[in-house]
Amino acid sequence: MDFALSTEEQELQAGARAFAAVIAEDSMERDATHEFPRALLQEAARLGYWGLGIPKQFGGLGLNMLEQCLVLEEFARADASLHVTLSVHNSLACGPIIRWGSLAQQQEWLPNMAAGHTLGAYALTEPSSGSDAAALRTRATRDGSGWLVNGTKLWITTGVSAETFIVFARTNPELPKTKGISAFIVSGDAAGFTRGKPENKLGIRSSETVQLFFEDVRLPIDALLGEENSGFSYAMATLDGGRIGIATQAVGLAQAALDAAVATLKVHASAKGCAFTSQQADFTLADMAVRTTAARLLVWRAARLRDAGQPHTPEASMAKLFASEAANKNCRDAVALLGGAAYTGGLAERLLRDARVTEIYEGTSEVQRMLVARSLRGS
Binding mask 191-210 for ligand FAD (x = CB under 6 A): ----------x-------x-
Nearer to ligand FAD by C-beta: 136 or 334? 136
Q: Which range in 22-30, 107-115, 176-184, 353-361 contacts ligand FAD by CB under 6 A?
A: 353-361
Binding to ligand FAD by residue 248, rule CB under 6 A? Answer: no
CB of 203 to ligand FAD, least distance (A): 8
How many of the other CB atoms lie within 10 Å of CB of 111? 17
Of 45, 44, 62, nearest to 53 (Cα)? 62
| CA angle, 81 then 85 then 91, to 5° | 130
Q: Which of 82, 88, 181, 305 binds ligand FAD (CB under 6 A)?
A: 88
Query: How many Cα atoms within 13 Å fall on the side-chain side of residue 345?
Result: 4
CB-based contact 223:185 (threshold 8 Å): yes
Binding to ligand FAD by residue 128, rule CB under 6 A? Answer: no
Residues tagged active-site: 362
Q: Which of 116, 130, 180, 245 binds ligand FAD (CB under 6 A)?
A: 130
Q: Which of 293, 364, 372, 375 binds ligand FAD (CB under 6 A)?
A: 364
Buried b (16+ CB within 10 A) or exposed e, 323-360: bbbbbbbbbebbbebbeeebeeeebbbbbbbbbbbbbe
Rounded-to-integer distance, Cα 214 and Cα 149, Å = 6
Residue nearest to ligand FAD (CB): 130
The single-letter DSSP state of residue 199 is P
How do strand 120-123 and strand 164-170 relate by DSSP bridges?
parallel
Binding to ligand FAD by residue 292, rule CB under 6 A? Answer: no
Nearer to ligand FAD by C-beta: 183 or 337? 183
Q: Which range in 47-55, 155-163, 177-185, 275-283 contacts ligand FAD by CB under 6 A?
A: 155-163
Q: Which of 49, 109, 122, 276 binds ligand FAD (CB under 6 A)?
A: 122
Residue 274, C-beta contacts closer than 8 angstroms, at least 6 positions apart:
none
Q: Which range in 149-157, 220-228, 277-285, 297-305 contacts ligand FAD by CB under 6 A?
A: 149-157
| CA angle, 157 then 110 then 149, to 5° | 55
Nearer to ligand FAD by C-beta: 124 or 265? 124
Of 31, 20, 65, nearest to 255 (Cα)? 20
Rounded-to-integer distance, Cα 79 and Cα 81, Å = 5
Binding to ligand FAD by residue 131, rule CB under 6 A? Answer: yes
The single-letter DSSP state of residue 56 is G
Binding to ligand FAD by residue 357, rule CB under 6 A? Answer: yes
Nearer to ligand FAD by C-beta: 167 or 338? 167
CB-based contact 164:93 (threshold 8 Å): yes
Rounded-to-integer distance, Cα 12 and Cα 67, Å = 7
The site that binds ligand FAD (CB under 6 A) totals a number of residues, namely: 21
Q: Which residues bind ligand FAD (CB under 6 A)?
A: 88, 121-125, 130-131, 155-157, 201, 209, 357, 360-364, 366-367
